[in-house]
């Protein structure tokens, strides 16, 4: 027990987390009659609130979003099930990607031809993929939340001085009051990320599953530490800046599922502009204030450098992600895909290299082993994480950009 106490005291040292000559007692709730300090005990509230968020999501998806999707003609059925072959099921459980070196041994064990095994494998992989309606519901829910969060954030911050002058984030720190609306903004945002952490195990499985899981946990950690250290002003600014672009990204994806191609392209174009304005315009202004203006107003302390370094790392990621998003747009325009047919989905919708793909004119052809590289954008650290994958030239740029993130 003594070791735990020593570690706790060392970790929460005031020399690390607070400005000079400031103690935890100085920023404890009730320590000053004129200031309502953040209470670290409130961080327990987002966990039960996450259950409420999941209940709201289930209700909306079941009774509103799903019926709308069906009325739009979005497919809710899954592909034909593969035959029950225990030997192949055992091999598939080890890896969902077919190793062609194992084809001959599997053929001997199952008394099937290699072509039949390949066909079974494609059916089995398709069987694990969710229906288009499930993905439509998931993205619609995210779009609704980001829209609400951004609007609520703007309403909350509209009358706050730091919304118009970032330097106000540092005046009077750490003795800055937490108003009721800021409290709710923080708690609901954290509850959303707690709900994502839980539902991620039941939602559409993506190739970046663990990256996104780590992203959600890091986001919760940063929000919690900023709350404990009374850095809620700059934290609220970072939240509202990152919610804006995600609205249009999720909207573009759900219109793609509904086969509104022109609307999808238009929304993706808006997303690109909003992304650049918010992530490379407004966000760097916050970074400038935390890096240049804050040291002129506050005495520096170790936690400041920790938080600021993380904000700078996120800016670097934004620059990389912006380059990749623009590359998707340029490649799409050059290949005439902005008005072309959509045959791709999210990152989890990968077809087997030996399968056939449908092209715009309705005919089929064998998919080449390597096509033009498509860049998949996924949320990470408050934004989008990118990875390259081989793809068909008929893949749509909107299907290659998927969120997460904050």
Q: E-assigned strands of 237-301?
A: none
Asked whether the CA dihedral 30, 35, 41, 46 is positive or negative, the reply is positive
Domain boundary among 325, 340, 355: 340
Of residues 68 and 402, the one with the higher pLDDT is 68
Domain boundary among 305, 340, 375: 340
Per-residue confidence (pLDDT) for residue 111, from 0 to 100 = 83
Residue 40 has what DSSP assignment? G
Q: Do 178 and 325 lie in a common domain?
A: yes
What stretches of 171-260 show up as alpha helix (H) in DSSP?
A: 180-199, 209-228, 232-257
User: Would residue 80 count as lying in a domain?
Assistant: no
User: Would residue 390 count as lying in a domain?
Assistant: no
Q: Do 192 and 92 lie in a common domain?
A: no
User: Would residue 23 count as lying in a domain?
Assistant: no
Per-residue confidence (pLDDT) for residue 156, from 0 to 100 = 96
Q: What is the pLDDT of residues 264-284, one digit of tens each?
A: 989 999 999 999 999 999 999
User: Would residue 182 count as lying in a domain?
Assistant: yes
Label residue 382 left, alpha or beta by phi (over 0 means left) and psi (-120 to 50 means alpha). left
CATH number at residue 118: 1.10.10
Label residue 287 left, alpha or beta by phi (over 0 means left) and psi (-120 to 50 means alpha). alpha
Q: For residue 353, give both structure tokens.
A: 């290299």
For the entire predicted model, the pTM comes to 0.75
Q: Do 236 and 299 lie in a common domain?
A: yes
Q: Do 58 and 169 lie in a common domain?
A: yes
Peptide bond into 174 cis (omega under 30): yes
Q: For residue 220, give both structure tokens.
A: 């919760």
3-state DSSP helix/strand/coil % of the chain, to nearest 5: 65, 5, 30
Q: Do 124 and 175 lie in a common domain?
A: no
Q: What is the pLDDT of residues 166-186, one digit of tens each?
A: 999 999 999 999 999 999 999
User: Would residue 209 count as lying in a domain?
Assistant: yes
User: Would residue 276 count as lying in a domain?
Assistant: yes
Q: Do 171 and 297 lie in a common domain?
A: yes
Rounded Cα distance, 162 and 178, in Å? 13
- Residue pair 375/328 in contact by the 8 Å Cβ criterion: yes
Task: Give the rounded distance of the alpha carbon of 2 from its chain centre.
Answer: 40
Domain boundary among 302, 325, 340: 340
Q: Do 107 and 215 lie in a common domain?
A: no
Per-residue confidence (pLDDT) for residue 388, from 0 to 100 = 35
Domain count, the chain: 2
Please say if the pLDDT value at position 347 is more than 70: no
> Which residue segment(s) compose the domain that 158 sits in?
40-72+144-340
Q: Do 166 and 100 lie in a common domain?
A: no
């Amino acid at each position: 027990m003594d070791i735990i106490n020593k570690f706790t005291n060392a970790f929460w040292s005031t020399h690390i987390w607070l400005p000079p000559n400031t103690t935890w007692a100085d920023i404890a709730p009730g320590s000053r009659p004129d200031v309502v300090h953040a209470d670290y005990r409130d961080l327990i509230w987002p966990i039960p609130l996450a259950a409420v968020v999941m209940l709201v999501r289930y209700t909306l998806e079941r009774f509103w979003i799903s019926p709308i999707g069906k009325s739009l003609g979005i497919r809710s059925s899954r592909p034909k099930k593969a035959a029950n072959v225990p030997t192949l099921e055992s091999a598939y459980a080890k890896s969902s990607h077919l190793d062609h070196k194992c084809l001959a041994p599997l053929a001997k064990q199952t008394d099937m031809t290699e072509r039949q095994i390949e066909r079974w494998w494609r059916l089995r992989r398709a069987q694990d993929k969710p229906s288009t309606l499930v993905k439509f519901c998931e993205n619609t829910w995210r779009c609704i939340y980001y829209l609400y969060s951004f609007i609520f954030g703007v309403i909350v911050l509209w009358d706050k001085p730091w919304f118009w002058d970032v330097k106000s984030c540092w005046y009077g720190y750490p003795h800055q009051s937490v108003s009721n609306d800021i409290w709710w903004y923080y708690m609901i945002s954290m509850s959303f990320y707690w709900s994502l952490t839980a539902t991620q195990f039941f939602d559409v499985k993506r190739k970046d599953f663990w990256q996104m899981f780590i992203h959600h946990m890091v986001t919760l950690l940063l929000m919690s530490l900023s709350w404990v250290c009374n850095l809620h002003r700059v934290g609220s600014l970072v939240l509202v800046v990152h919610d804006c672009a995600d609205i249009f990204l999720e909207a573009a994806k759900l219109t793609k599922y509904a086969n509104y191609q022109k609307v999808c392209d238009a929304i993706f174009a808006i997303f690109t502009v909003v992304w650049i304005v918010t992530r490379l315009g407004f966000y760097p202004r916050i970074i400038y204030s935390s890096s240049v203006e804050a040291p002129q107003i506050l005495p520096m302390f170790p936690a400041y450098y920790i938080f600021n370094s993380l904000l700078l790392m996120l800016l670097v990621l934004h620059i990389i992600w912006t380059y990749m998003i623009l590359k998707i747009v340029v490649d799409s325009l050059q290949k005439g895909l902005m008005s072309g047919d959509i045959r791709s989905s999210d990152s989890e919708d990968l077809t087997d290299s030996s399968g056939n793909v449908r092209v715009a004119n309705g005919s089929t052809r064998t998919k080449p082993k390597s096509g033009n590289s498509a860049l998949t954008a996924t949320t990470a650290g408050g934004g989008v994480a990118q990875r390259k994958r081989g793809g068909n030239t008929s893949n749509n740029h909107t299907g290659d950009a998927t969120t997460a993130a904050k």
